[in-house]
Structure 1
Amino acid sequence: MSRDGPFSASDGGVGPTSAPSAPDARPDGPVAVRADVVQPIFAYWQQVMAKPKAKLDAKRRSAIAARLKDGYTPAELQRAIDGCRASAWHQGRNDRGRAFDDIALICRDAAHVEQFLALAADQRAEQAALDAFLNPDPDPLEGEFHVVRSRP
C-alpha cells in the first residue's frame, strides 16, 4: 500500500452522491460515510503501526467514521496515522514506556487528528531538509573540466 493509500482523487472516500475533485478536498458539510471507507483506513493503520492482528471493533469503527463525518478525508486520516508513527512519545519513548498509537486515540476527536496532522507535517519538513542536505543539486558545477595527470 502506498503512503497515499488506496484512495484515489475520483473516489474521495466520502460523500453520498458526489466525489470531491481532489483527495484532500473537503465536502461542504457532514456526509454519510460509506462502510467500505473505514476498512481501508483501519488497514493502513494496521500496516503503519505493525499491528496485523488488531481487530476493527465498534469503538475503532465509530471513531474513524466520526472523523470522516466531520469532513476529514481518508488521506488526511492516513497522514494523521503517519504523524502518530513519527512521534517518539506516542511510540513508547515516554515516562511510562508505553505506546499510545491506537486508531481510536488518533481519531478520538478533531483536536487529536489536528495534533497528529501537525506532527506529520513537521516530520515531512524534517525529511525534506535532510533530503536536501544529503542530495544537493546534482549539477552545481559549471564550466570545463580537465584531467590532470601527474608525471612519473
Structure 2
Amino acid sequence: MARSRNIKPSFFMNEDIVELSCEARLLFIGLWTLADREGRLENRPKKIKMSLFPADDINVSEQLSNISKYGFIELYNIDGIDIIQIVNFVKHQTPHGLEKDSELPDQDGLYTVYDRNPKNKTIVGKPHLLNKDQLAEFYNKSLISIDTNGVKTHQEQITDTESEQLKQDNNSYETVSISDQNALIPESFNLIPESINKNICPSNDDPVPEQANQNFKNEIQEIFEFWKTTFGKNDRTKLDNKRKSKILTRLREGYSVEEIKNGVMGCSKSDHHVQGQFTDIELICRDAVHLDRFIGYSQQIRFIPKTPEPERIDLSKYKVVEDRVW
C-alpha cells in the first residue's frame, strides 16, 4: 500500500536530479510512497506503472535504470526476487512506529526487523539483521518477559529511554505475534526539518562514526587547504564542523588523502559544477557515490583546441613606393 513520505524543496535544486528527465524525477518520488520502511520494494515495472502512472505512457523499466546510474537507487536480485533499494531512505525518512517490518531482504540477503512493545510500536534502538530462517523464531519470541521480581527485557543493554517509553505505553507486556507485526500500517506524518544541503534528503549534521584514535586532524586540514587553493578561496573560508565531518567520514571509510584531492581536482574539471557553484568540499565529500564520481572526473583528459596562429604576411612580395606598401 502507498504511504505518505517526506519531500524537501532542496530536491528540485539537486545538481544530479536535474540531469534526469521529468518522468524519472517523478518516478523517483513515487517510489518513496511505494517502498517499505527500509526503502525497499519489488522491481516490477508494470505494477509500479499502474500505481504511479496509470494514464501515462512511461517506460518505467528504462527510467529505473536511469535513476540507478546516478546512485539514487540500487537494483538487485535475491532468491529470484528483483528488488529496488532507495539509497539512504532510512536515514532521511521517518516511518510511523506501527509500520510493519520489511518483507524484502537487503543485498546480503538479510531481513531488517525491530523490537516492538505490546502496542506493536517500534522500540527505540537499532534493528536486527536476520536470515530468513531466523524470522519465525524472532517473532515468536517474547520481547518482554514477566517474572516474580517484576518486568525484565530480553535485551540486557536496553536504554533508560526505551524503558521509560515502555512504561508510558502500558507497564504490562506480552509476545508480539507474526500476525501483529503484519498489521495494516498508518501513514507517516513526522516531517524532517529542511536542510541547506542540496542533497535529495539532505542531512548536514550526520553523526560521524566513532573510531578510536582516528581523528585525522592533519589530513583534514591538508585536504581543506588543497580545496581552498584549487578553487581560489580566501582566508574567510572556514573549516566548519559540516565540512570537517564529511571529510572525516570519507577518511574513516578508507579513502586516502590523495584520493580525496583527486576528487577535488575532478570537481574543478566539471564545467557543470564549477559554473553552478557546486564546488564546496562538503558536497565533494558528501558520500562515497559523489566522491567516486569526482575522482573519475579527475582521470578524464580535457582537450583544449589550439588557437590557430595568425597568418604572417610576406612583405617581400610588395614594392615600397613613397614609403607606402602596395
Pick the TM interval, shorter chain. 0.5 to 0.7
Q: Which runs of 5+ in 2 are unaligned?
A: 1-210, 305-326
Partners of 1:118 and 1:35 lie apart in 2 by 26
What is the number of equivalent residue pairs in this alignment?
Answer: 93
1:1-22 CA distance string (max 9 Å, x none): xxxxxxxxxxxxxxxxxxxxxx
1:38 aligns with 2:220: yes
Matched letter for residue 243 of structure 2:
R
Where is the helix percentage greater, Structure 1 or Structure 2? 1
Q: Distance in 2 between matches of 1:36 and 1:50?
A: 21
> Would you tell me which structure has more strand in proportion to its own residues?
2
Residues 15-35 of structure 1 show CA distances to partners (whole Å, capped at 9, x for unaligned) of xxxxxxxxxxxxxxx782321
**Letter of the 2:261 counterpart:** Q
Which structure has the higher relative contact order (CA within 8 Å, separation 6+)? 1
Q: CA deviation at 1:80?
A: 0.2
Q: Does 1:89 align with 2:89?
A: no
2: distance between equivalents of 1:34 and 1:69? 9
For 1:88 and 1:69, the matched residues in 2 are separated by 29
Task: Give 2:270's aligned amino acid.
Answer: S
User: Which is higher, the Rg of structure 1 or of structure 2?
Assistant: 2
Q: How far does the alpha carbon of each residue in 1:75-124 deviate from its partner, in whole angstroms, 9 at most, with x for none? A: 000000000000000001xxxxx31000000000000100001100113x
1:120 aligns with 2:298: yes
Which of 34-43 and 70-79 deviates more? 34-43
1:66 and 2:267 aligned: no
**Residue among 285, 288, 309 paired with 1:107:** 285
Give the 4+ runs in structure 1 shifted more than 6 A: none
| 2:265 partner SS | helix
C-alpha distance in 2 between matches for 1:41 and 1:79: 10
TM-score normalised according to structure 2 size: 0.27
Identity value in percent = 35
Structure 1 portions without partners, runs of 5+: 1-29, 93-97, 131-152
- Where in structure 2 are the equivalents of 1:15-26 lying within 5 Å? none
RMSD between aligned alpha carbons?
A: 2.0
SS at structure 2 position matched to 1:91? helix
On the 8 A contact 2:216/2:251 being kept in 1, the answer is no
The separation in 2 between residues aligned to 1:84 and 1:34, in whole angstroms, is 23
Q: TM-score, normalised by structure 1?
A: 0.57
Q: Give, in whole Å, the separation in 2 of the partners of 1:34 and 1:82.
A: 21
Is 1:33–1:68's contact at 8 Å kept on the other side of the alignment? no
Per-residue CA distance 1:49-91 (angstroms, 9 max, x = gap):
1112311000000000000000000000000000000000000
